[in-house]
Amino acid sequence: MNEQGTIAQAIALDGVENANLRPPSPHDAEPIPDEAWAEIRALLQSGDLFRYTAADGGTTPVSRLERDFAAFMGVRYALAVNSCSSALFLALRTLDLPPGAPVLIPAFTFAAVPSAIVHAGLRPVLVECGDDLRMDMADFADKLAHAVAGGPAVVLVSHMRGHTSDMDAITELAEAAGVPVVEDAAHSLGTLWHGKRIGTIGRIGCFSFQSYKMVNGGEGGMLITDDEDIIAKAIIMSGAYEHNWKKHPLVSAAFERYQNRLPLYNMRMSNLSAAAIRPQLAHIHRRASDGRRNHDRLAQRLSRHPKVTVPTPLPGETRAPDSFQFLLDDMDDGAISRFVAEAGRRGVKVSIFGRDTDNARAFWNWHFIGEIPELPKTHAMLMRTADVRLPAHFSPADVDTVAATLEAALDAATAI
């Protein structure tokens, strides 16, 4: 800690970088909690890796994860799957939309989101995002009105990098239009909106356990809902073939209705993933508050820099961040490139969403959706928004090192 503090000071004071004095790697993960190890060993011994190995009424690591996740979120139903992309795909498939129906998403999101829409045979409609990185509500209202005029539609709110769009306004407009809301909460586990858990506001919420998210299962996802009909369809389509749905503790007439009537996409989670994931639920609260502490510490310091604007959250949002985004002000192309290079040389990897080659978060790279729309606001924002990983396990001294490194890089890039 002390050593790190001294490093931060040394860099801040004279801007001289030393190859040995660098911030820790943001790619080091927290270890999987010890509580997981006994269960994983038992699984390796028994070979029971498939989620439906238990007799009806028995539990498996996957069913226990579903039970605990539903309780944690305060919802009736949870279905574990192999990724958030699978959860999004299944969510859309449960809504019985005609082929090609429009799905409104923020234009600032990860390529997996429009991909899930295309996979489900639907059509992504990209909504402008402003300099606060959230959906522009005027553009949302316009595009929603246009979409519903043509027939059924869906709103898929992607809380990109954990930034929450105005869920009150979205819910109100969507309800008035009779359009269901699905939440892509892949990166928002632990985030609150007016005290309510993100992912529980829409009709369906989807989460990711990919290693760069709050809970690390390597891969994995979860679909949550309070709707019995939706969960029955999602369970069957996720691969509960024959009568495996009876192994979910919510047997009901809904399943009889869909027996043999839905395709089986086989997107199940393995018991090994669930065993690694479940003990981490107890750590979500700590990781969220440590992530918030780190984010706010860096935000407070960097927002004082004349070349930086840190987007402010909407009132009512309590975030659970593990990364940091900021906008570069009044910097030309050359200065922005120099900043990225200077930060990288000093040990902090900065991405500018719109400037990396083939960045999966720049909508103009999504050629698989067909014609790419003109979205000048989102385009301008992506061309000057920087992205830095800031894991919850970084100490405040580590955060100060990152801050000093970014300040030194900004100053070096703009001094010319």
Ligand X SMILES: *Cc1c(COP(=O)(O)O)cnc(C)c1O
Reference 164, options 240, 230, 106; nearest CA is: 106
Between residues 161 and 203, which has the closer beta carbon with respect to ligand X?
A: 161
Between residues 158 and 378, which has the closer beta carbon with respect to ligand X?
A: 158
CA-to-CA dists, residue 14 to 21, 29, 191, angstroms? 14, 32, 38
Between residues 113 and 390, which has the closer beta carbon with respect to ligand X?
A: 113
CB of 244 to ligand X, least distance (A): 23
Question: Which amino acid, one-letter code, is at 398?
Answer: D
Between residues 83 and 401, which has the closer beta carbon with respect to ligand X?
A: 83
CB of 44 to ligand X, least distance (A): 24
- Point out which residues bind ligand X (CB under 6 A): 83-85, 109-110, 112-113, 158, 160, 184, 186-187, 208, 210, 221
Between residues 158 and 191, which has the closer beta carbon with respect to ligand X?
A: 158
Between residues 63 and 208, which has the closer beta carbon with respect to ligand X?
A: 208
CB of 341 to ligand X, least distance (A): 26
CB of 6 to ligand X, least distance (A): 35
**Contact (CB, 8 A) for 317 and 164:** yes
As a three-state string, the secondary structure of 342-363 is HHHHCCCCCEECCCCCCCCCCH
CB of 83 to ligand X, least distance (A): 3
CB of 41 to ligand X, least distance (A): 26
Q: Is 312 exposed, middle or buried (0-12, 13-18, 19+ CB in 10 A)?
A: exposed
* DSSP assignments along 223-287, one per residue: EEES-HHHHHHHHHHHH-TTTGGGGSS---HHHHHHTTTS-----BPPHHHHHHHGGGGGGHHHH
**Contact (CB, 8 A) for 217 and 239:** no
* DSSP assignments along 32-56, one per residue: PPTHHHHHHHHHHHH---STT-SPT
